[in-house]
Every structure is written in C-alpha cells, then in structure tokens.
Structure 1
Amino acid sequence: MASSAPSSSAAEMDPNTANLRQPATTGDAWYGVAHGCTRKLGMKICGKFQPTSYQSVGSLNVPKPKKTEKSILIAAIKSCRLLMFTYEIAPVFVLMEQLTLKKMREIIGWPNGDGDGLFSPGGAISNMYSVMVARYKYFPEVKTKGMSAAPRLVLFTSEHSHYSIKKAGAVLGFGKENVILLKTDERGRVIPADLEAKVTDAKQKGYVPLFVNATAGTTVYGAFDPINDIADICEKYNLWLHVDGAWGGGLLMSRKHRHKLSGIERANSVTWNPHKMMGVPLQCSAILVREKGILQGCNSMCAGYLFQPDKQYDVNYDTGDKAIQCGRHVDIFKFWLMWKAKGTIGFEQHIDRCLEISEYLYNKIKNREGYEMVFEGQPQHSNVCFWYIPPSLRGMPDGDERREKLHRVAPKIKAMMMECGTTMVGYQPQGDKVNFFRMVVSNHAVTKSDIDFLIDEIERLGHGV
C-alpha cells in the first residue's frame, strides 16, 4: 500500500514526517507500518484465520467477524504467548517486527530506515543494550576477554536521567562510580558545557570516555536534553551517543512536537517505549541502533542447535542470537495491530491531545492563588510539576519551617484523595526541592472537565492542611 505525504506545511518542511498518512476516508484504517505486508500474510497469524477482509477495522461499519476469528484475535492480543527467536518458529511476528522497526527508524530520521533493533523487556533493558553495543563497538575484545581487556571506561548521563543508566553501568561491570552525572539547568536539561568539561577532565585523569546518554523526556520534569549540542561534543571526542526516548520518543509521531527531539537522527542508538506515551499495552519497548549488524556481533553465541547457518532461508531473519535472551515475548503483535488500526495520524492525534490537556492544566494554575510552579515556563512534555500552597502557608515567609511544612502537604492531600476514592496524583521531591505534585497526562480520553475536577479536589482537600 503506497504512502502519501500530508498536505500540511509542517510536514513539507520535515522530511522525516513526509510519509505520515492522512486520516482514512473510505473505512480503510489499515495503514501505517505494514507496507508490503499483505492481508493474506496477516491471515496466517496463529494459522487459523479464515479468509475474511479486515480492511474496515476501525471504521464505523465494521462487518461482524465470525465467532472463531474474533475469539482467536482477542486471545492473541491478550496473551501473545508465542515466543520468537527464529523465523521458522514465528515467521509472521518476525516480519512484523522487522517492518515496524524499519518504520520507527525512518521516523527517527536514519536514511532509508536502515539499521537494526529489537523489542526488549522494557526501557531499562533497552538502555542496557545501548551501553553493551557501545562497548562492543569500541572494545570488541571485552566480549571474549572481559573488562580486564579494556581501560577504565566512563559513561555520562544527566543528573535527571533514568536510574537505568547507572544500573547498566553496575550490571555491565563499569561500576557506578564510572557513570558521571551531568549538571542540568532549572528546567532539567543537560548543560552541554558541563558535558565537555567532564569529558576533558576524565581524559586528563587517564580514563576513556565511551558513552553519552541524552534524555528525551525526563521522568520527573519531562525535559528534553539539547541533542544537537550533545551530538556535536560526541562527534568531537568520538563518543557513542544514545538517546533515551522511552518517555518522550512518542513525540516523534507528532508534527507539532517532534522538534523537541531535534538532532535525534545523529544518535547511534535510541530507546523508544510505545507502551508509554503512545498508549500501547505493556510491555513494548524498542532499542534501535543505527549500525546494522552490531547487535548480532555483540550478542551472538552461535548455538548450533538453533542457529544453523545452512538453513533453507536467509538466517538474518533469526533474531534470537542478537538478543540477550533467546526466546522473546511477542511484544510486536499488539503494537503492529494498534498501528494498523489507528494509523500514524491516530498516534499523532493521541500525542497532541495529551499535550493539549497538560497545557490546559498548566495555564489554569500558573497564576492561580495557592499554586507555585516547580520551574518557570511551559513544560516541554505532559509533565506538570507544581506545589499546592494551603491557606495556612500562604503568608509564611520562605525558610526552613515553611519548607518542612510544605514538604508534608502533597503526601497528606494524596492520602485524602485515596481515602475519598476520587483521584490519585503522584508526588516526589527533586534535588533540594520539597515534595511537589507531578501530574502526567498520557491518556487522550482525559478531558478539560477532568482537569477542572482535579484542581477543585486539591483545593477542597488541601484547604485545611
């Protein structure tokens, strides 16, 4: 099925979104990822589908499927219990994964969607893959001889980045002390000058800088590190650049918001979790690598009982030997099916709606009495971080006593929310900042009236705190 470019000027300016599809107008909601994946091939899933057309799935006039077909499809979506490690074990799912990963790489901006990738058990594992392949790229002898074959290697990541980068450093033998944290600005974005200073300092100490992680959507603030500036430094010092887009990668689907990840096409690897901002059922995380074949080189053990080189098909379709584990859960099916049903434009609308609702919350409270924002300016993502200041604290001068009392406000209000059964909003401290609320919108069904209710409920419960 050929793709057509959108008519909007934004799409015309950005070649990476030139193939975003327009909404279906004739009931054909099966568009997005499976270019060249025929209906007949799709019918082979589970080996039991009858030859019934599903081209109108997602439209208003859906023909009622046969009972057996419906039950098979529902069961497959709910469980996806099949494993995938060789083409002969799961041929359709292997092809689905290849098609989808290629499409994701195209959206990132890598030429022709070339490269490699896998769906992994989660963002933490995807990030660990990135560190593994970076080490293999520069020091392949570690695979056979261990870390003793390498000099003291150091990794760099934001002080606001996900803890999985530090965990990867510990698990893979680098050591937590060799994961160097970078300073951020008041919005939680890495300061590039601090990265270059710490790279230079590490080299002067005789260490070998290896890997830099840039976060696209931090967990707490939803901040996007300046990828282009970081990429300049990585190219200058020949460092592997990874972008952790587990939370913010979904914004690549939006022509309105993808500019926040400008420069991601310069990354060597990317983590992207469709189960986060895109609403795909857990779990669904991808590690995408720009260099083809490096996952295989890094992880292959050539188990002869599974990965024979003289099979009757192209053994490049066998994915088990390039993964950490052999058999993998079939995470691709639910994502492929969801993309087919919603289309790229459906994901775009989902993303835009979530950020629109978050912006509505921000605008409602930024100048409202009793609220203080954790940082100045509109959030980059759907994370809205704020303090509710109860009347008892509004006239109190800033100081240790006020900070101590304010630190207890969010936990108390959340406890009352849960006791009342009305709503539940997360809170946490960050650095030297006391507990604050962090409202995150990732469900496009949230309405402005829901946000109004949330604000009223915080004020009702917090009035007497």
Structure 2
Amino acid sequence: MYGMVMSRFQKYPEVKSQGLCGLPPLVCFTSDQAHYSIQKGMHWLGFGIDNLIKVKSDDLGRMIPEELELSVEKCIKSGKVPLFVNATVGTTVLGAIDPLNEISGICKKYNIWMHVDGCFGGTLILSKTHRQKLSGVELSDSIAWNPHKMLGAPLQCSLFLTRHKNLMHECNSAAASYLFQQDKHYDVRYDTGDKSIQCGRKVDAFKLWVMWKARGDDGFSSYIDNVIESARYFYEKIKSTPGFRLVIPEIETACICFWYIPTKMRNQAETDSWWSDLYKIAPKIKEKMVREGTLMIGYQPVKNHGNFFRFVITCHPQTTPEDMEYVIKKIIEYGEQV
C-alpha cells in the first residue's frame, strides 16, 4: 500500500490536496500468485479491485513478462493509466520468484512504478550463496521485506524501502508541529513517524538490529543457506519416496508443495473422483498433526489444483536432515491412517 500510494503521488502530486475525482482510472498489475494484500490495497486506496490486473504465471508460479506487457498495452488502449506493477520474490504458496529484470524493462518502457514484494524471499539477499536469485531487485522503485518470515525475527518486523529520496515524506507528511519540528538538534530525517501511517508504530528496526548484532553477516548467511539446503533435502527426499507427489517440478525458495497419496489410493485410475478424494487427504493429515501436537503444516489449493501441503522452512529454529526425515515419517504415518 505504501508503494501504491507513493506511485500515485509521484505521477499525480495534486491527489494529496484534490483527491481522486479528477484522475483517470489507474490500473495496477500483479501476478495471479501474488499476496492477497495487493487486492486489499486496491480497495482501501480507492483504485477499485476491478482495476487490478492479475497477470498469468508459468508452471512454476512466476509472472510471465510477455503477458504483463500485453496487459499494459490493453490497459492503455482502453484509456486507463498503468500505474504500478507488483513483482513477487517468494510467492505465498509456491515460493516462486518473478523475473525481475524483464519486469523492470517493461516498467521503464511504459513509465510504471515497480514494487517488489520481497516479504518472504527478500531474506535471500543476506545469503552469500543465494542472493543472485534476487538479480534485478535493485532496479525496483520500492520493496517490502518481512524479516519475521524466512529470517525468523519476532513478529512483527516489516521494512519498506524506496529509492526515491524525500518522496515518502512529501507523500505522507501531515507536518504535525507538536511532534515533527524541523529545528531539532539531530537530523530530522530520522523522524519516520511523519513518513508513515502509524506515528506510534512498533520499532521494528530494533528487532532486526539485535538479531544482526548477535548473528552478524556470516551468521545470517549460514542460517539462510541452511534453510535452502533443508528445503532441497526434503524436496529430493520426497521425489524418491513412494506416496509423495510434487505439485510443481522445481523449487526456488523454501516452499515445498506436495500431495501425499495413501497406499490404498495408489495404482488406481486418476479420475475426477480420485482427485476429489485426494484433495481431502491433506486436511485429514493436518488434523491428526494438530490433535497430537507434532507438526503444523499448512495446506491449500492453487491454480487448477485442489488441497496440497505447503511445507515452509525458516531460519529459527535451525533445521537438520533428521528434522526433514521426521516430517516425512509423520506424514506417512498419518496418511496411512486416513
């Protein structure tokens, strides 16, 4: 929402004083795998959810740049203004990383604000091994990052970054004189309350600073590398374990999506009825996990697929191959009971 409101202010600064009534319809774009908050922002900020274009994604859940450009051109031909593109680094379900360099090129061509939702996958920037997966993030106009996700900082810890100097202040400032005097003895740029919605926002930066002070650059990097290695271990293990089936053929971050097929359902014709029965398995297995207090693994449908498991690994606590083996063992155990 910060990126949306800043993109609007940058293109139409008069909106701060005059409102929306004189503006043409403004259109935002995101992938069909993006976080639901983009749609909520369209409503809250007055764009209207009908002006959010959900761009097709490929088989791995990544936005297709060619589809984005076609959508932008269609928007322009209809008399609307393409304003904002949200690219995702680590989509909520599949953990996909949108092609940032290609998306940036389209945004520059049509003068569109490029925001990156790096709330989950943005943590990879701290890994010396895996940061190259975020190539192109430096080309964005703004980025959101939640260290409370993959990095495991205490809830809530959220950051918003922009390359545009002073724009956040110009866009959001209400200049409350009893709080934000400009003649203080320190650099007033540190008065972030006048740049944000919440003057009394929690000091999220302190949580990250304490973690960083304790772990250091190398500590963060090793923690993140362990996350990716654990995800890869689990992924490779279930590929060769009877009863497990991957939803997508490859993983980019630390989300592994899969079904468990109980023995009684194997070697049968995979009819619509069979798939309908399979979609009921994950909820039943999760119920057993919760009732016994052993694991907490989410499930959900996406695209044309019904319920499957979404196993997400984070930095805290640090996982081991033995932990991955335990998860597999319990899923098999519960899966054979349903």
Range into which the TM-score falls when normalised by the shorter chain: over 0.9
Counterpart Cα distance in 2 of 1:310 and 1:360 = 56
Do the aligned partners of 1:351 and 1:444 also contact (CA within 8 Å) in 2?
A: no
Do residues 270 (structure 1) and 270 (structure 2) align?
no
- Structure 2 match to 1:414: 286
Do the aligned partners of 1:141 and 1:149 also contact (CA within 8 Å) in 2?
A: no
Quick one: which amino acid aligns to residue 38 of structure 2?
Answer: I
Quick one: which amino acid aligns to residue 257 of structure 2?
Answer: C
Counterpart Cα distance in 1 of 2:8 and 2:292 = 51
Quick one: which amino acid aligns to residue 230 of structure 1?
Answer: I
Query: Structure 1's 405 and 142: CA in aligned 2 closer, same or farther, altered over 3 A?
Result: same
The equivalent position to 1:370 in structure 2, one of 240, 243, 246, is: 243
- Structure 2 match to 1:220: 93
Q: Which has the higher contact order (CA 8 A, sep 6+)?
A: 1
1:444, CA displacement in angstroms? 4.7
Could you tell me which runs of 5 or more consecutive residues in structure 2 were left unpaired when the two chains were aligned.
none
Quick one: which amino acid aligns to residue 193 of structure 2?
Answer: G
The equivalent position to 1:310 in structure 2, one of 161, 183, 186, is: 183
- Structure 2 match to 1:321: 194
Do residues 460 (structure 1) and 325 (structure 2) align?
no
1:341, CA displacement in angstroms? 1.1
Quick one: which amino acid aligns to residue 198 of structure 2?
Answer: Q
Counterpart Cα distance in 1 of 2:274 and 2:337 = 16
Give deviations 1:190-239, integer Å, cap 9, x for gaps: 00000000000000000000000000000100000000000010011010
Q: How does 1:251-266 map to 2 (within 5 A)?
A: 251-266=124-139
Counterpart Cα distance in 2 of 1:313 and 1:425 = 48
Structure 1 runs of 4+ aligned residues shifted over 6 Å read none
The equivalent position to 1:427 in structure 2, one of 299, 319, 322, is: 299
Do the aligned partners of 1:221 and 1:383 also contact (CA within 8 Å) in 2?
A: yes
- Structure 1 match to 2:2: 129
Give deviations 1:248-307, integer Å, cap 9, x for gaps: 000001121111111001000011111111121111100000011000000111112222
Counterpart Cα distance in 2 of 1:184 and 1:168 = 21
- Compare 272-281 and 181-190 and name the one that shifted more: 272-281
- Quick one: percent identity of the two aligned structures? 50
Quick one: which amino acid aligns to residue 391 of structure 1?
Answer: T
- Structure 2 match to 1:180: 53
Counterpart Cα distance in 2 of 1:363 and 1:313 = 54
Query: Structure 1's 422 and 306: CA in aligned 2 closer, same or farther, altered over 3 A?
Result: closer
- Compare 224-233 and 310-319 and name the one that shifted more: 310-319
Q: How does 1:90-109 map to 2 (within 5 A)?
A: none
- Structure 2 match to 1:171: 44
* CA radius of gyration, larger in: 1
The equivalent position to 1:399 in structure 2, one of 268, 271, 275, is: 271
Give deviations 1:323-365, integer Å, cap 9, x for gaps: 1122222222221111111101111111000111111100111
Give deviations 1:374-416, integer Å, cap 9, x for gaps: 0112x10110100001112112212211111001001111111
Do the aligned partners of 1:350 and 1:444 also contact (CA within 8 Å) in 2?
A: no
Could you tell me which runs of 5 or more consecutive residues in structure 1 were left unpaired when the two chains were aligned.
1-127
1:423, CA displacement in angstroms? 1.9
Do residues 293 (structure 1) and 166 (structure 2) align?
yes
- Structure 2 match to 1:208: 81
Using the size of structure 1 for normalisation, the TM-score is 0.71
- Structure 1 match to 2:262: 390
Counterpart Cα distance in 2 of 1:311 and 1:422 = 54
Do the aligned partners of 1:299 and 1:322 also contact (CA within 8 Å) in 2?
A: yes
- Structure 2 match to 1:20: none
Quick one: which amino acid aligns to residue 299 of structure 1?
Answer: N
Counterpart Cα distance in 2 of 1:314 and 1:387 = 54
Do the aligned partners of 1:251 and 1:351 also contact (CA within 8 Å) in 2?
A: yes
Query: Structure 1's 421 and 316: CA in aligned 2 closer, same or farther, altered over 3 A?
Result: closer
Counterpart Cα distance in 2 of 1:421 and 1:303 = 50
Counterpart Cα distance in 1 of 2:337 and 2:201 = 52
- Structure 1 match to 2:63: 190
SS at match of 1:304: coil
Give me the CA root mean square deviation: 1.2
Quick one: which amino acid aligns to residue 272 of structure 2?
Answer: D
Do the aligned partners of 1:428 and 1:437 also contact (CA within 8 Å) in 2?
A: yes
- Compare 286-295 and 300-309 and name the one that shifted more: 300-309
